[in-house]
Amino acid sequence: MNDIHLIDFYKDVGQALILLHQQFPRKTQVYVSDLIGYDEPDEYGLHSKRHEACLAAMIWLAEESFIRFDSLIQREAIDQAVLTRTCFMRLHAPYIPHASITSNPENNDEPSSIQANKNTLVYQLNTALKAQETRQLQDLVAYLFIQ
């Protein structure tokens, strides 16, 4: 069983990458509140551990060359963020282990271009996030990291 902080990490990474993919190639701000919801700072102006973990996940993505960003907007967001070329290419690579879409008889009528799109890592990552499929999300993000 995974620790809850790792489950949150995979979710934060997935959401950040999907958000940046939707804006690609434009640089954009990614607010922590867009990923996990609003977090009220405490009486000292400090955010929760959950907020800080989400921000740390985005910083880690940059340190590991999945994204680039210019600066932090206080402790609220990353500014001028964009996917790296390598990350963009990995997201568009086929991910066959979870491509059960191609084996569904009802999808056999779809053009091959649509089936190919459904087999991409980015499509399956987005689908797993929407369906809140934690195990599949972890597998997809781990696959992205080891490619």
> Beta-carbon neighbour count of residue 28 at 10 Å?
17
Q: Which domain holds residue 12?
A: 4-146
The DSSP result for 34-82, as a single string, is: HHH------TTSPPPHHHHHHHHHHHHHHHTTSEE-SEEETTTEEEEEE
Per the omega criterion (within 30 degrees of 0), is the bond before 97 cis? no
Total structural domains in the chain? 1
pLDDT at 2: 55
pLDDT per residue rounded down to tens, the chain (147 residues): 558 888 999 999 999 999 999 999 999 999 999 999 988 878 887 888 999 999 999 999 999 999 999 999 988 999 999 999 999 999 998 887 644 444 454 556 777 767 767 889 999 999 999 999 999 999 999 999 987
Q: Cα(88)–Cα(24) distance, rounded to whole angstroms?
A: 9
